[in-house]
Amino acid sequence: MTAQFDPGTPALPTDSNSVLADTRQFLLILDDWARAGWIRWLDAEFAVFLHRQVPEASSALLLAAALTSHQNGHGHVCLDIGFCLAEPDRALSLPPESPAHQPALTPQQLLASLTVDQWLSDLQHTALIGDNNQPLVLDHSSGRALLYLRRFWHYEQTLAINIRQRLMSPPAIDGDRLAKTISGVFNRLSHNKAITDEPDKARTDCDWQKIACALATRNRFAIITGGPGTGKTTTVVKLLAVLQEMHETSSGQLLRIRLAAPTGKAAARLSVSITSQLAQHDLQDISGEVSTVHRLLGPIRNSRFFRHHAANPLPADVVVVDEASMVDVELMALLLDALPEKSRLILLGDKDQLASVEAGAVLGSLCQRAGQAHYTPHTAAWITHVTGQVVPESMIDTNGSALDQSITMLRYSHRFGAIPGIGKLAQAVNTSAGSRALNAFFDGSFAELNRLKTSSTQDPAFARLICNAETGYGHYLQRIQQHPASDADPDQWDAWALSVIRAHGQFQLLAALRKGEFGVEGLNERIAAILRNAGMLSAPRDEAIWYAGRPVMVTRNDYNLDLMNGDIGITLPFPRSVPEGLELMLRVAFPGAEPHTPVRWILPSRLQSVETVFAMTVHKSQGSEFAHTALLLPQYENPVLTRELIYTGITRAARQFTLIDDNPNILPQAVASSVFRTSGLLHAINSKSLAEGH
């Protein structure tokens, strides 16, 4: 630790120039920032470590190191030096959500005393920054000065190289045979209907699902992106049928297909969707088994390493990853590194959703140009040849990159046909609609959209929303009361637990923040109190934290229990044998991954990393869908409130969405602010000339 100082002591320096000239003063300021919660102790200690290793390192260099570490904690792969100086508040997401106190000298004030040239001059220190295994890497290749922690620079470079190599070595495809296969599969699986919003659009608009299948077959790396209900899963089923038929015809063998998602919840959703479609179309030669990406790579216990890597690649010909927006740069780099050279990787996801909690926004970075496609004339002509679809002239670009030729954006949503309000609201948010247009969605025109205006969770209207027996938490809590008799067959207990889990998925309260009355920590306590006061929830015994009805989310992968970050379980009574007969005790019921194990009953004492999720952050909700979603916004503007967060929260709702707010300016302000993740990935992929073999 650095020296210990009372935050209020006058010993803390306040002059930026003297702090930048004296590393001892800077370390005092760094200590103050960590105590105030403006940076993590990890960030401060990283700078202290570098100072101990290289005492002559300047304050400006140590500042850059601490802020690079800080950025990594906020999901950025690197620190953009120029942007940080130009817009420090936005670049650094400061001040934090709930600071302990106001620092004597803020990062913004210190940065105001630096110019880009001065800062870059201080970063010319070969002991700490360079290409020979130093802890930091300064990369100018994109035209911007980007400072990386070496590990993340390595991940980004590895990822870029692997993607570039796959783009440069497409598989040999017989266009005529592919055209016949796509036509046959689509005719068989969708009765040759054009995938468009409205029947009269079929004459002019593309069937983007056909285009997606064609481009993903043509490439060893492909992305299929689109919003909710655009048919990403339907498309990938057709794609797998096309790939399987093409491969079986040419080789007489079946493809080894692996399906994965970032979290257990997302994997379970994909499994249900894929399995039902495979059964519907009698595609018996395609497995519907889905695992998390971590499980796919084969985690080694008590280690951060995996069994599958470049020297021991995955036994797979095709790997499909759903909800790819949630995959961070480290995991994506490890996945690409573990794929056989000739295999295909297909990423599915919504480019407009929030990025991963960890560092990197891989899908968002790769799909920056997806909206306008940028297909070359050669690609457009090839698409017409194998699919019969004519790419709009506005989406043809003679300068389209090789990456552009591997991405398809699905553009027509079918999820909200009978309840259009949710989809239209999401679209308005995505296009940064103004205040008047956004507020008009809640004027009663759409029955599926509701707004609860309240400035406090003590409001009786908030309690009514939470306790509602049809569209609130009352729904699953009532189901808990209907448990089987203690001596009932285990299958009955499993069936009951699954019904409770499904009922719990009917409603979820989402929040943007973690701290304060409108943050998930305060909300979970408040909601538990509301439900107890309503007689829907019993008080825990002897101040214990476990009680029947408590929903919990796993917050860290637990390979011993085979539970992954994001898995949700419900605390329920469960019978056990005692000398007197049977008694009910608490277990946490998680949905099982195998048909013969529909429910896994886990002792609460075995769960080491879980949190209550009456309320969850929007980030944690990714990969999930709820019949009714309520999104609670704070009363004051906050850096975490962005268009992507609002869009993600809205699109978790399948049938009903409720906005909870009080300040009419917060929603439009959030929609006007976009998430950015500093990264050099796109430039790294496109930096070398790729053969126009497309």
Q: What are 98-123's pLDDT values in tens digits?
A: 788 999 999 999 999 999 999 999 99
> What residues form DSSP beta bridges with 290?
259
Mean pLDDT of the 253-268 span: 86
E strand or H helix that includes residue 399 = none
| Token pair recorded at residue 407 | 């991405």
Mean pLDDT of the 363-382 span: 93
CA 236 vs. chain centroid, Å, equals 20
For residue 277, the model assigns a pLDDT of 86
For residue 690, the model assigns a pLDDT of 40
Which pLDDT band, with edges at 50, 70 and 90, does 353 fall under?
A: confident
For residue 100, the model assigns a pLDDT of 82
For residue 118, the model assigns a pLDDT of 94
| Token pair recorded at residue 125 | 């220190």
- Distance from C-alpha of 236 to C-alpha of 28, rounded to nearest angstrom: 55
Domains and CATH numbers, the chain: 16-148 (1.10.10.1020), 170-190+210-414 (3.40.50.300), 420-545+611-672 (3.40.50.300)
Would you say 449 and 422 are in contact if contact means Cβ atoms under 8 Å apart?
yes
E strand or H helix that includes residue 205 = none
Mean pLDDT of the 68-95 span: 90
Which pLDDT band, with edges at 50, 70 and 90, does 417 fall under?
A: low
| Token pair recorded at residue 642 | 């962005």
For residue 478, the model assigns a pLDDT of 93
State what percent of residues in the chain have pLDDT above 90. Answer: 57
Which pLDDT band, with edges at 50, 70 and 90, does 2 fall under?
A: very low
* Residue of 356, 349, 299 lying closest to 327 (CA atoms): 356
Model's pTM, two decimal places? 0.83
Mean pLDDT of the 155-166 span: 93
Number of neighbouring beta carbons within 10 Å of residue 427: 17
Least confident of 36-45, 303-312, 413-422, 451-460: 413-422
- Distance from C-alpha of 520 to C-alpha of 620, rounded to nearest angstrom: 11
Interval 584-622: pLDDT, tens: 899 999 988 666 778 899 999 999 889 999 999 998 888
Number of neighbouring beta carbons within 10 Å of residue 179: 16
DSSP 8-state code for residue 94 = -
Mean pLDDT of the 42-61 span: 96
Q: Does position 472 have pLDDT exceeding 60, yes or no? A: yes
Mean pLDDT of the 527-556 span: 86
Nearest-10 Cα torsion for 544, 546, 548, 551? 140
- Distance from C-alpha of 169 to C-alpha of 189, rounded to nearest angstrom: 30
- Distance from C-alpha of 298 to C-alpha of 281, rounded to nearest angstrom: 31
For residue 200, the model assigns a pLDDT of 40
Alpha helices in 57-106, H assignment, sequence order: 59-73, 81-86, 88-92
For residue 588, the model assigns a pLDDT of 95
> What residues form DSSP beta bridges with 571?
588
- Distance from C-alpha of 249 to C-alpha of 242, rounded to nearest angstrom: 11
For residue 201, the model assigns a pLDDT of 44
Least confident of 7-21, 272-286, 492-506, 643-657: 7-21
Q: Does position 192 have pLDDT exceeding 70, yes or no? A: no
Which pLDDT band, with edges at 50, 70 and 90, does 90 fall under?
A: confident
Mean pLDDT of the 255-271 span: 85
Mean pLDDT of the 55-79 span: 94
Would you say 666 and 365 are in contact if contact means Cβ atoms under 8 Å apart?
no
What per-residue string of b and e applies to 464-496 under the rule 16 or more CB within 10 Å gives b? ebbbeeebbbbbbbebbeebbeeeeeeeebbeb
Would you say 192 and 186 are in contact if contact means Cβ atoms under 8 Å apart?
yes
| Token pair recorded at residue 282 | 């009698």
State what percent of residues in the chain have pLDDT above 70. Answer: 94
| Token pair recorded at residue 652 | 């978790």
Higher-pLDDT residue of 530 and 620 is 530
* Residue of 323, 354, 295 lying closest to 616 (CA atoms): 354
Interval 659-692: pLDDT, tens: 999 888 889 988 988 777 777 888 888 875 443 4
- Distance from C-alpha of 299 to C-alpha of 313, rounded to nearest angstrom: 14
CA distances from 90 to 280, 375, 426 (A): 49, 34, 24
